Copies of this chain bind each other. A is one copy, B any other.
Amino acid sequence: MEIDFQKSVGLVPAIIQDERTGDVLMLGFMNRESLTETQRVREVVFFSRSRNKLWKKGESSGHVLQVREIRVDCDADALLVRVEPVGPGVCHEGYRSCFFRALGADGDTKVIAERTFEPEKVYGQEKAR
């Protein structure tokens, strides 16, 4: 089964899910090269749309995502990567999951999770991920 990278300019969305808890941690994008690299090193490697290059999650923080299983959807245009996360969280704002805000009916958002680490100590002054 061929992954369909063509539907969205060479990229497929990759959902990252904690295998133990079921929590959805983040969503990134992969191109063919980053998927191959992810499979080779068994740690998640995205394609960064803003930096236009491969981006190994945790390369600066050490919070890598160890791959346990990769699933493909019916149309082969989305991936679900089930991982064991290393460290206290994946979000550059200091949370376990990037989905730490709930959206209200009025469009306002509300933080619904506790911070698990101080991002300044992990990433220094730059907003690196």
> What is the interface of chain A, defined by CB distance below 8 A to chain B?
1, 3, 7-8, 13, 15, 17, 21-24, 26-27, 39, 49, 69-75, 78-80, 91-93, 95, 98-103, 105, 107-109, 112
Contacts and interface: CB of A to CB of B under 8 A. Distances in A.
Contacts of A105: 39
Given A13-B27, A15-B27, A27-B73, A80 B99 contact: yes
B73 A108 contact: no
B74 A91 contact: yes
Q: What is the count of identical protomers in the complex?
A: 2
A20 to B, nearest CB: 10
Contact of A49 (B7, B27, B80, B91): B7
Given A7-B49, A17-B24, A108-B1, A73 B102 contact: no
B93 A74 contact: yes
B13 A70 contact: no
A26 B73 contact: yes
Given A22-B22, A78-B27, A80-B24, A103 B15 contact: no
A40 to B, nearest CB: 9
Contact of A101 (B1, B24, B100, B108): B1
